[in-house]
């Protein structure tokens, strides 16, 4: 009887310990999750759903903010905005995009961020480059009160838009469509 009682007590103790460890694991995961989402610029759900980690998103955001700020300092010598301001604006643009191209409404492939390497571009074939058409990019949409406004669009659209203002880009698209309809040229 004593050994049965001891065995029962041991199994109850083990069960209680296991439940406590399980509770600790749940608590630890909750704390880690809270700290991860308490980042200043957390990756939006549609970015995470593409398999992008918080660290990858943060690195991408930092690179884009730094690159655009550096370029804009050359273009606009009186620029007063900081890299931090750019990071905030770009993050807001990502959130506002809801994962789609600002100009076409097409879903962007967030899993491609951080995969393009400029140094490899010259060795890529056209079909390899086309795989990056839906790569999310940051576009200077407009400049209001001396401050840049950003939107998120695909690499393909950003490449086509180039340095055109939005109205100039739309006018160019209209000309292409009008001419294609007027000439009825075969593809």
* pLDDT per position as a tens digit, 2-37: 444 444 445 454 454 445 444 444 334 433 433 444
Q: Are residues 70 and 151 in the same domain?
A: yes
Q: Are residues 17 and 74 in the same domain?
A: no
Q: What phi and psi, each to the nearest 5 degrees, are found at residue 159? A: -65, -40
Q: Are residues 136 and 68 in the same domain?
A: yes
Q: Are residues 56 and 126 in the same domain?
A: yes
CA quadruple 31, 35, 38, 44: dihedral positive or negative?
negative
* pLDDT per position as a tens digit, 163-184: 888 899 999 999 999 999 999 8
Q: Are residues 27 and 56 in the same domain?
A: no
Q: Are residues 34 and 66 in the same domain?
A: no
Angstrom distance (rounded) from CA 139 to CA 85? 15
Say if CB 136 and CB 113 are below 8 A apart: yes
Residue 121 is predicted with a pLDDT of 65
Considering only residues 38 and 127, tell me which one the structure prediction assigns the higher pLDDT: 127
Q: Are residues 9 and 96 in the same domain?
A: no
Angstrom distance (rounded) from CA 26 to CA 23? 5
Say if CB 112 and CB 132 are below 8 A apart: yes
Q: Are residues 4 and 59 in the same domain?
A: no
Q: Are residues 74 and 154 in the same domain?
A: yes
Whole domain around residue 138: which residue ranges? Answer: 45-183
Query: How many CB atoms neighbour CB 68 within 10 A?
Result: 21
Q: Are residues 94 and 125 in the same domain?
A: yes
* Gyration radius of the chain over CA positions: 26
Looking at the structure of the chain, the number of domains it has is: 2
Q: Are residues 23 and 77 in the same domain?
A: no
Q: Are residues 51 and 129 in the same domain?
A: yes
């Amino acid at each position: 009887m004593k050994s049965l009682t001891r065995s029962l007590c041991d199994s109850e103790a083990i069960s209680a310990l296991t439940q406590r460890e399980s509770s600790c694991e749940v608590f630890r995961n909750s704390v880690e999750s809270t700290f991860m989402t308490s980042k200043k610029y957390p990756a939006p759900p549609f970015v995470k759903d593409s398999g992008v980690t918080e660290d990858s998103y943060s690195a991408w955001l930092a690179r884009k903010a730094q690159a655009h700020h550096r370029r804009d300092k050359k273009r606009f010598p009186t620029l007063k905005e900081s890299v931090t301001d750019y990071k905030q604006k770009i993050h807001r643009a990502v959130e506002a995009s809801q994962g789609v191209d600002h100009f076409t409404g097409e879903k962007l492939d967030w899993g491609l961020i951080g995969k393009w390497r400029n140094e490899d571009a010259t060795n890529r074939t056209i079909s390899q480059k086309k795989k990056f058409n839906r790569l999310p990019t940051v576009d200077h949409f407009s400049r209001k009160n001396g401050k840049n406004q950003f939107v998120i669009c695909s690499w393909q659209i950003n490449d086509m838009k180039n340095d055109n203002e939005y109205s100039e880009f739309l006018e160019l698209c209209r000309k292409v469509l009008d001419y294609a309809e007027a000439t009825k040229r075969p593809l």
